[in-house]
Amino acid sequence: MAEYVYPAIFHPNEDGSYTITYPDLPGCISEGKSLGNAIYMAQSALTQWIEYLTDKKQPIHLASDFDSVEIIQGEFINLIRVDIKDSHAVKRTVSIPKWMDDKVIESGLSLSRVLQDALKEKLNVG
């Protein structure tokens, strides 16, 4: 899992919503209807942006120093942190009894899906 922390600029709008931009990630923009929603949306946008860059094998620029980010009156900066999980499939060799494999095939289940679901439950992760 990789951790990313970027400064985000929050611009309050007249209707009480916020527009969020990332000076280090041009084009990464989001909006939130309230401050709490804006922080949630900022995390969501950053997660999707980093996942996209990773998937497309594009460089991920380093975050600016908090104090070097310029804002205009009324705006504020908040650091946004996200953890990115590598979701690429990996092959693992597992052993199960022959009778169990027969039942899996018979039932039409995907052994990979069942294993993933069981591991998620066991590890208490979503």
- Can you give the pTM of this predicted structure? 0.70
Q: How far is Cα of residue 111 from the mean position of the Cα atoms in its chain? A: 27
Residue 8 to residue 23: CA distance in whole angstroms: 7
Confidence of residue 105 (pLDDT cuts 50, 70, 90): confident
pLDDT in tens, 3-61: 999 999 999 999 999 999 999 999 999 999 999 999 999 999 999 999 999 889 999 98
